[in-house]
Chain A
């Protein structure tokens, strides 16, 4: 080993606590990077292979009823590779283990279930006999969460008739990697299940012989999807289509795609923060080392060491720290990726998902860390290389201090001398102080971001389920009914309020923009289903005109007071123009609302309803559920409490893990920055501080000077960190906004407070560690040594 290398290692060992702090920062960044990239790759490859192998469709459409020959029309569209027509219907299920009714989506299975599109992957049991009535395959999440066994019976109301279904097999489908119903935010596997039934049986049960009501299309490579969607809409229009859509609006596909997007964002943003902090810390530490080494550098140059050799010598110290941190980070990141993969395997249903680390990710992580080290050290290393040797022989000029503006304002005598020293210390190196403060601010922002997750979800639950949609149960009818049904519902057990609604499929058009959705006709007197403005205050539906939710208004680019064209897609299909009379805030879906009477009038129909919202006395719930399970007119029942429950279960479980990680990361950043800044300050000023001790200052006074500077930097960092954190959250909100759901930009004061607290505690711990060194300062030795 060359002597210079030996010197390097001895010095690194001398400063091991500082180096370790930097290693941890780099390691954290690398761990997140390795975790995100590995899981990203795993999830993407698993998904793509699954979609491909089981021929997941690209475009989807529903109709009320279309004759079978339409299939060949669709097949003749350019770019279409394959067409699969099916019968799909939602039914009420009576599952023995479940008190309340569940919703089942029945999907027809082709004669050869291993052909066609959206093929299912049989996990257990067998395919149903095409000619035997009542045999079905259940989706795995529904089967497992209801603890069903093969051969178990589930009763279903099919087209108004109750029929027992026997589960003969369990399957997964690329269409339901995550099993979420339209309009819901998260899966509810116990209360929503997919059941596959032979086509012949479905045709018989739903009177659909020679017809279909659902179609999926697979495209050729490089196809123009928008063009195909337009052509499909033209063909399917007369069969009651509500608009074809691609994978981007397919709920399951969208959830998985959003998860990939989030992993990519995590893999970009978090490591960038960590690497920036690490680069800054390496810079601070190296700047200090080089300034103490002035004369050593001069001597080395005098002995004939080249500038490059000296530059490389100092660069190596940063590279070694970064390298060790990166290796630790890679190991931790692999383990985290493994853990996250098992979470995914539970949440997303793939036939197989086996985590295998990708060595390329490690190479990237290593390269990123070394790059951060180079960037952080470049300037200082250059200055060491360029240091003119003759000048470096001389002791460095004393640091230049100036009076601060506070003192110049004549407030001098009000400021104690220790405070003056603190202020001048900050004034002397404003950029370095600002960067330290910014580093600490990142720690605060990471905590804000971690609090945001649960705050937003809590707000969402509060807004959606407590303030806006306060019904206990929503029932949807098979066919439109007269308002008389209201009285029937009112007489069901425990029901103490009924709010009927009318839902109509419609195409809304504004200039070149158009969007297919439902108009929900609501009554004027409403206490259950409320529309809210941005301040969560209820808004009234005007007697005429249409209220759009904010996302829909954004898609159509219309504001209140402007007009829209509408084309109703059912009944007599009326068309016309309508005034946008208001906007409602919603975090899910893209709905439009009208006064029910006005909607009935627009539809040229008498008073009709499609379903109702119910308020139910919890004591009578079991009786009500029993009755609803057996009511043939009821197509589906949604129970609010169970929705909230699953929502919380899923979210809370994942967030606790995430929060403990972010807490660790925030502490790593805060300690890394504060400890290193303090150590460097102590090194730089040990002579000065020892002098103060010699002339009679107490330990407390002396540590006040050193740690007071850090206290000010930390205090200044807190509001900045809040602002940066808010910015991160806002970016996340924009990044994840979709037609399916939006995240509210809601951070509670408690989260801000916790962020400030965690950082302050971490900073204090670092301060105490440095204070202990300060207390053991060898006064004589410090004064003897030459700077």
Chain B
């Protein structure tokens, strides 16, 4: 078995929401391994996004521990978490979160400006087949193209892990395919440990592993023996 990238142990997360407390995570144990493509499945409110945010150092658990390659994220300072995000993590969001006032290339540059050994922004855009659109503003790009720019932006720093929160959630099926292909290609070519949140079970078939969550807990952890290329997924 390959190297352990994340060790998640007994993680809980409680949000106060006015007068009630919402238990987003109720004791999660999970290990993610290097180069693995994991899909997190589950209905909305099952805790997928909370878990992903904690893995990405955007949020911290109420209890439990999360260790990334010997760094205990639960004990890390804000500054250490920032450096962790800057160097190790690539994020892809459901609504792309591109900056409307910057072109595709500039959106990627936003990351290459601060990373230690990034690839060039052009190279990153090439990996998602958007080199010819580099000078377009987000408003001039389709949803799928915008999401691919977001992926290029996420991988330009050559991250160790790529975390994607519903990357195809806002897209139609055919556009979703191009986005998933891009993610798979990154996973294969760069060996980036990848976690993708989705509520579309079909996407699980292209992964190494499907983790299903329900009510803030892991309900099922399933290894896929023969994963399919994206093109063969039936939507």
A278 to B78, CA, bound (A): 33
A751 to B114, CA, bound (A): 59
Among A10, A303, A786, point to the contact of B86 (Cβ < 8 A).
A303
Residues A304 and B82 in contact, CB atoms below 8 Å apart? yes
Any B CB within 8 A of the CB of A283: no
Residues B114 and A303 in contact, CB atoms below 8 Å apart? yes
Smallest CB–CB gap between B49 and chain A, Å? 8
Q: Given contacts A7-B99, A388-B59, A390-B53, is CB(A304)–CB(B93) below 8 Å?
A: no
Among B50, B97, B106, B115, point to the contact of A304 (Cβ < 8 A).
B115
Residues B106 and A296 in contact, CB atoms below 8 Å apart? no
Any B CB within 8 A of the CB of A182: no
Which residues from chain A contact B165 at a C-beta distance below 8 Å? 393
Among A3, A11, A296, A786, point to the contact of B113 (Cβ < 8 A).
A3
Residues A6 and B113 in contact, CB atoms below 8 Å apart? no
Any B CB within 8 A of the CB of A307: yes
Which residues from chain B contact A305 at a C-beta distance below 8 Å? 82, 86, 114
A4 to B78, CA, bound (A): 21
Which residues from chain B contact A389 at a C-beta distance below 8 Å? 53, 58-59
Any A CB within 8 A of the CB of B56: yes
A63 to B147, CA, bound (A): 96
Any A CB within 8 A of the CB of B83: yes
Which residues from chain A contact B89 at a C-beta distance below 8 Å? 302, 304
Which residues from chain A contact B79 at a C-beta distance below 8 Å? 306
Which residues from chain A contact B106 at a C-beta distance below 8 Å? 3, 6-7
The contact size tier of chain A is: 20 to 34
Residues B78 and A307 in contact, CB atoms below 8 Å apart? yes
Any B CB within 8 A of the CB of A2: yes
Task: Give the secondary structure class of A's interface.
Answer: helix
Among B49, B87, B91, B99, point to the contact of A302 (Cβ < 8 A).
B91
Which residues from chain A contact B115 at a C-beta distance below 8 Å? 304
Residues B113 and A299 in contact, CB atoms below 8 Å apart? no
Contacts between chains A and B (CB distance < 8 A), count: 83
Any B CB within 8 A of the CB of A20: no
Any B CB within 8 A of the CB of A295: yes
Any B CB within 8 A of the CB of A424: no
Most chain A Cβ neighbours within 10 Å, of B49, B114, B153 = B114
A605 to B211, CA, bound (A): 119
Any A CB within 8 A of the CB of B219: no
Any B CB within 8 A of the CB of A298: yes
Smallest CB–CB gap between A293 and chain B, Å? 9
Which residues from chain A contact B83 at a C-beta distance below 8 Å? 304
A296 to B98, CA, bound (A): 7
Any A CB within 8 A of the CB of B185: no
A276-299 residues at the B interface, CB under 8 angstroms: 295-296, 298-299
Residues B101 and A7 in contact, CB atoms below 8 Å apart? yes
Contact mask for chain B residues 79-108; partner A; CB cutoff 8 A; 1 contact, 0 none: 100111111010101010101011000110
Among B58, B78, B102, B107, point to the contact of A390 (Cβ < 8 A).
B58
Any A CB within 8 A of the CB of B111: yes
Residues B95 and A303 in contact, CB atoms below 8 Å apart? no
Any B CB within 8 A of the CB of A47: no
Residues A304 and B101 in contact, CB atoms below 8 Å apart? no
Any A CB within 8 A of the CB of B110: yes
Q: Given contacts A6-B106, A307-B78, is CB(A301)–CB(B85) below 8 Å?
A: yes
Smallest CB–CB gap between A783 and chain B, Å? 16
Most chain A Cβ neighbours within 10 Å, of B78, B83, B102, B165 = B102
Which residues from chain A contact B146 at a C-beta distance below 8 Å? none
Residues A393 and B102 in contact, CB atoms below 8 Å apart? no
Which residues from chain A contact B84 at a C-beta distance below 8 Å? 304
Among A295, A302, A307, point to the contact of B58 (Cβ < 8 A).
A302
Contact mask for chain A residues 1-15; partner B; CB cutoff 8 A; 1 contact, 0 none: 011101100110010
A271 to B229, CA, bound (A): 68
A301 to B113, CA, bound (A): 14
A305 to B91, CA, bound (A): 13
Q: Given contacts A3-B106, A306-B82, is CB(A301)–CB(B58) below 8 Å?
A: yes
B123-160 residues at the A interface, CB under 8 angstroms: 153, 157
Residues A3 and B101 in contact, CB atoms below 8 Å apart? no
Smallest CB–CB gap between A239 and chain B, Å? 83
Which residues from chain A contact B58 at a C-beta distance below 8 Å? 298, 301-302, 388-390, 393
Any B CB within 8 A of the CB of A782: no
Any A CB within 8 A of the CB of B109: yes
Smallest CB–CB gap between A14 and chain B, Å? 7
Residues A296 and B99 in contact, CB atoms below 8 Å apart? yes
Among A3, A303, A388, point to the contact of B102 (Cβ < 8 A).
A3
Q: Given contacts A303-B86, A304-B114, A389-B58, is CB(A786)–CB(B95) below 8 Å?
A: yes
Q: Given contacts A303-B91, A306-B82, A389-B58, is CB(A298)–CB(B97) below 8 Å?
A: yes
Smallest CB–CB gap between A508 and chain B, Å? 74
Residues A304 and B110 in contact, CB atoms below 8 Å apart? no
Residues A7 and B56 in contact, CB atoms below 8 Å apart? no
Q: Given contacts A3-B110, A390-B53, is CB(A303)–CB(B93) below 8 Å?
A: no
Q: Given contacts A389-B59, A390-B59, is CB(A301)–CB(B97) below 8 Å?
A: no
Which residues from chain A contact B93 at a C-beta distance below 8 Å? 295, 299, 302, 393
Which residues from chain A contact B153 at a C-beta distance below 8 Å? 303
Most chain B Cβ neighbours within 10 Å, of A303, A309, A393 = A303
Which residues from chain A contact B107 at a C-beta distance below 8 Å? 3
Which residues from chain A contact B111 at a C-beta distance below 8 Å? 303-304
Specify the chain A residue showing the minimal Cβ separation from B88. Answer: A304
Any B CB within 8 A of the CB of A485: no
Which residues from chain B contact A11 at a C-beta distance below 8 Å? 101
Which residues from chain A contact B114 at a C-beta distance below 8 Å? 303-305, 309
Smallest CB–CB gap between A371 and chain B, Å? 28
Which residues from chain B contact A2 at a C-beta distance below 8 Å? 113
Contact mask for chain A residues 576-588; partner B; CB cutoff 8 A; 1 contact, 0 none: 0000000000000
Any B CB within 8 A of the CB of A77: no
Any B CB within 8 A of the CB of A680: no
Any B CB within 8 A of the CB of A300: yes
A10 to B82, CA, bound (A): 26
Contact mask for chain A residues 41-81; partner B; CB cutoff 8 A; 1 contact, 0 none: 00000000000000000000000000000000000000000
Most chain B Cβ neighbours within 10 Å, of A302, A309, A786 = A302
Residues A3 and B109 in contact, CB atoms below 8 Å apart? yes
B177-210 residues at the A interface, CB under 8 angstroms: none
Task: Report, nearest first, the 3 A-B pairs whose CB atoms are least far apart.
Answer: A304-B86, A390-B59, A10-B101
Instruction: List 8 additional A-B contacts (Cβ < 8 Å) besides A303-B85, A389-B53.
Output: A3-B102, A4-B113, A303-B91, A304-B83, A304-B157, A388-B58, A389-B59, A393-B58
Q: Can you show 9 pairs from A to B with CB atoms below 8 A apart?
A: A7-B99, A7-B101, A14-B101, A298-B58, A302-B58, A303-B91, A304-B87, A305-B82, A390-B53
